[in-house]
Structure 1
Amino acid sequence: MKWSWKIGTFAGIAVYVHATFLLLIAWLVLSHWLAGQSLAATARGVGFVLALFGCVVLHEFGHALTAARYGIKTRDIILLPIGGLARLERIPENPRQELWVALAGPAVNVVIAGLLFAWLKLTHELTAPFGLGFVEGPLIERLMVANVLLVVFNLIPAFPMDGGRMLRALLAMQLEYAQATQIAANVGQILALFFGFVGLFTNPFLVFIALFVWIGADQEAKHVQMRSMLDGVKVEQVMLTDFHVLRPDDALSRAIALTLAGSQKDFPVVDDAGRVVGVLTQGDLLRGLQDRGAEAAVGSAMQREIERAEVGEEIGPVLLRLQQCACRTLPVTRDGRLAGLLTMENVGELVSIQSALQKRPHARPGVAVAKDARSSA
C-alpha cells in the first residue's frame, strides 16, 4: 500500500504503518497540548495508543497465523488509524476454515484481556467494575478494557468486522457462498442503518461506524459476486489478442507513435523468438523520455521483473496477482511465447457482460460467456 513504511517482519510477515497513523499520533499530541496537559500526560496518552495498536497487531497476527495453518499466506499487515489490516492472499474456501481464521483475531484480544485481568488481580490494583474506564485510569486497566471493547466491536455481525465473516462462514455451511455473503452483507447494512439513526441523536461517532459498515458490506458483496462470475473462466477466454508489441532495440519514439495512434498504454516487449522480456508502461515511457530522450532504446526503460500468466490458468488467482503487483497489464504466454494481454479493463468488461447475461430469464451464470469464448478461439 502506498504511503506505508515497514517497521519490521515477524513470522515471515512484514508489518507496515500507514502515514495517516502518524497523523493520529500528531493529533493526540496536539489535543493534549491544547488541553494544557503536561508533557508527562501527553507521553502517557501516546504510550497508551501505541500499546493499544500493539494489541491490534497481535490481533491481526491471530488471523495471519491461523490462515497459515490452512496454507494461506499473508502478504503483509498494515496499521491504519482505524485499526489493523492483515492482507491474506485469499479467503479460505472452506467455511469452517474461514470461521476459525475470523475467530482467531478476537480470541487473541480475549487472551490479552484475561492476562491483564489476572495481573491486576495478583497486584490488587483492579478497580471495582463500575469504576473501570477506557479514557482514564492506570495503563494496564485501560488496556484490559480496550481489549474487551475490541472483542465486542469485532464480533458485530457485519462486514468488514470479523463478526461479519463469522456470520458468512456459518451461513455458507448450509447455503451457496455467494448467497451467504449477500445475506451477511444485508444484515450488516441493516445494522449500519441502525447505528446511523442512533448516532444522529447520540454519538456522531456511530454515524462514522455506520458508514464504515455500509461500505464494507457493499464492497464484500460485490467482490464475492465478481469472484462467482469469474469462477471457472480461463485467462485465454478473457485476454486481449489485438495489441502492439515492442522490441528491446526499438526507439522510445515508436512507443510514442503507438500510444498516440491508439488506446494502448502498456506494451509487452518481446525478443525475436516471441518470448516476453519485459513490459514498457506509460510511466516507464515518460521517465525514459525525460531521462534519455525519444531515441533511447526501449530496453533501457522497460521493466524486466514482471508478473505473467499462462493461457490455461483460471482468471481468479491471476486477477489477484494483477491487483497485488500494482500493474495494469499482465503478459499472457503459451509455451513460453506471448499469446495475449490481461488488463483490469477487460476483466471488468467480462464482469459487466456476465452481469447482463445473468439478468436473462433462466440464465445460467458464468456459462454463456465461457462457451462463446471457447467457440471463437
Structure 2
Amino acid sequence: MLWSIPVGRIAGTVVRIHVTFLLLLVWIGAAQWQRGGREAAIDGVLFIVLLFACVLAHEFGHILTARHYGIRTPEVTLWPIGGIASLERIPDKPREELIVALAGPAVNVAIAVVLILALGARLSGAAMAEMDNPHAGLIARIAAANIILVLFNLIPAFPMDGGRVLRALLAMRMNHVAATRLAARIGQGAAFVFALVGLFVNPMLIIIGLFVYLAATAESQHVAFQDATRGLPLRSVMMSSVETLSTSSTLNDAVDLMLRTSQKEFPVVDGSGRPQGLLTREGLIMALHQGGPATPVLGAMTRDVPTALDRQPFDTAVALLNKAKAPALLVVDDAQKLVGLLTPENIGEMMMVRSVRPDWRFYGRRSYLPGPIGTSRE
C-alpha cells in the first residue's frame, strides 16, 4: 500500500503503519508538550501507541476468525482513523460474516475486562470523557478507550463492524446484493451525521464520515458488479483486441506501439502466440533510460505474470489478478495461446459503467441495457 511502512509480520499477516499515523504521533507529542511539558508528551504518545496496539488486536480478531473460514489476510495497515485488514474476500455465508464482524469488538471487550478485573483499572468520568488527561491514569484510560471502541465500531454504519453485522443480519432475510445496498445507504446516512457532528465536536469525525461514505458506496458498487458478472466466462469481458510484441522486438518497436495505441501493457508472445511476459509502460520508460532503443524487450519485460484460461469464471480471474497484484492478467485458450488481456483499468471502466447504469448486464460479448425497445450495445 502506498505510503505505508511494513514493521513486522504476525501469524502470516504483514503489519504496516501508514506515514500519516507517524505524523499523528508527532502532532500528539507536540500538543501535549505545549500543554504539560515533557512528561505530558511522553504520556500522550504512550497512550496513542497502546490504544493502537488495541486496535491492532481488534483487527487480528477479524483476521484470525476469517482464517478459520479459509480467508487469508495478506496485510493490515494502521491509519490515524483506525486499522484496515485487507481480507482476500468477505465471507460468503451471512453467519460467517456476522461472526467475523463481531470478533474484532469481542477482542476489545476482552481487553477492557482484563484491565478492569485483573489490573484494577477504575473507570471514572475523567477516564471516559478526557482521554488525554494523564491524571485519570493510563490503564483506566486504555480500558475506557476499548469500551468506546466497541460502542463506536458497532454503530450500524457500513462498512464499519456494526454495518457488517447489519448486512449479515439482513442477508439472512434477503439476497446479498439487496442487503448490501440497504446497509450501504444506512452507512451513507451515518456518514453525514458523523460529518455534521464533527463540525461542532471533533474535525476527525468529518474525516471518518468521508471515509465511511466512500467505502460504503464502493462496497455497494462492488457487490452489484459481482452480481452482474457472476457466472460469466472471462472471454465475455476481457480485452480481446490486444496489440502484442514478439520475442525478437526491441524497445524501439515497443515505443512505436505505445505511441499509436492507448494500451499501457504489452504482452510479449513467441512465434506460436504463447505469452512469455508483459512489458508495462513504466518498465519501457525505465529500460529506455537504462539502455537504449535497440535493447530487446526480453530484458525489460516482466516474466512473472498471472495467466488464466478464457473459459474460467470472470470472478475467479479477478481474484487471481488481485492476489498477484500484477498490472494485468494474460488470458489464454486451451492451446495456451494469448487471446486477451484483463487489467485493473479494464475492470474499473466496467464498474464505472455499472455505477452510472445499475441495470447494465453483460451477456456473451454484448452488454445490454433493458428498456422499452430492448436496445443493445456492442
1:9 aligned residue:
9
Percent identity among equivalent residues? 44
1:130 aligned residue:
125
Q: Which amino acid aligns with 1:15?
A: V
Q: Which amino acid aligns with 1:34?
A: Q
1:63 aligned residue:
62
Tell me how far apart the structure 2 counterparts of residues 331 and 209 of structure 1 sit (CA, whole Å): 38
Tell me how far apart the structure 2 counterparts of residues 187 and 68 of structure 1 sit (CA, whole Å): 28
Q: Are the counterparts in 2 of residues 307 and 330 from structure 1 also a CA contact under 8 Å?
A: yes
Tell me how far apart the structure 2 counterparts of residues 164 and 139 of structure 1 sit (CA, whole Å): 31
| Greater CA drift, 232-241 or 131-140 | 131-140
Shift of 1:7: 1.2
Q: Give the match's secondary structure for 1:35.
A: helix
Tell me how far apart the structure 2 counterparts of residues 329 and 321 of structure 1 sit (CA, whole Å): 10
Tell me how far apart the structure 2 counterparts of residues 162 and 219 of structure 1 sit (CA, whole Å): 16
Shift of 1:16: 1.1
- Quickly say closer, same or farther: Cα 1:25–1:350, change in 2 above 3 A: closer
The answer to whether 1:197 aligns with 2:210 is no
| Greater CA drift, 184-193 or 98-107 | 184-193
Tell me how far apart the structure 1 counterparts of residues 27 and 187 of structure 2 sit (CA, whole Å): 31
Q: Which amino acid aligns with 1:22?
A: L
1:369 aligned residue:
363
Shift of 1:197: 3.5
| Greater CA drift, 308-317 or 137-146 | 308-317
Shift of 1:154: 0.5
> Any residues of structure 2 matched to 1:309-324 within 5 Å, and which?
309-324=308-323
What's the C-alpha RMSD, in Å, of the aligned pairs? 2.2
Q: Which amino acid aligns with 1:369?
A: Y
1:109 aligned residue:
108
TM-score normalised by length of structure 2: 0.89
Q: Deviations over 1:37-86 (max 9, x none)?
A: 12x33222211111111111111111111111111111211111111111
1:245 aligned residue:
244
Tell me how far apart the structure 2 counterparts of residues 205 and 11 of structure 1 sit (CA, whole Å): 31
The answer to whether 1:24 aligns with 2:24 is yes
Tell me how far apart the structure 2 counterparts of residues 347 and 188 of structure 1 sit (CA, whole Å): 25
| Greater CA drift, 343-352 or 263-272 | 343-352
TM-score normalised by length of structure 1: 0.89
Q: Give the match's secondary structure for 1:51.
A: helix
* Count of residues in correspondence between the two structures: 362
| Greater CA drift, 26-35 or 142-151 | 26-35
1:268 aligned residue:
267
Q: Are the counterparts in 1 of residues 81 and 208 from structure 2 also a CA contact under 8 Å?
A: no
Tell me how far apart the structure 2 counterparts of residues 221 and 27 of structure 1 sit (CA, whole Å): 35
Q: Give the match's secondary structure for 1:132.
A: helix
Q: Are the counterparts in 2 of residues 235 and 315 from structure 1 also a CA contact under 8 Å?
A: yes
> Any residues of structure 2 matched to 1:295-334 within 5 Å, and which?
295-334=294-333
Q: Which amino acid aligns with 1:341?
A: L
Q: Are the counterparts in 1 of residues 44 and 132 from structure 2 also a CA contact under 8 Å?
A: no
Q: Deviations over 1:86-128 (max 9, x none)?
A: 100000110110001101000010001110011243xxx525x
Unaligned runs of 5+ in 2: 368-378
1:362 aligned residue:
none
Q: Are the counterparts in 2 of residues 198 and 206 from structure 1 also a CA contact under 8 Å?
A: yes
Unaligned runs of 5+ in 1: 360-364
1:145 aligned residue:
144
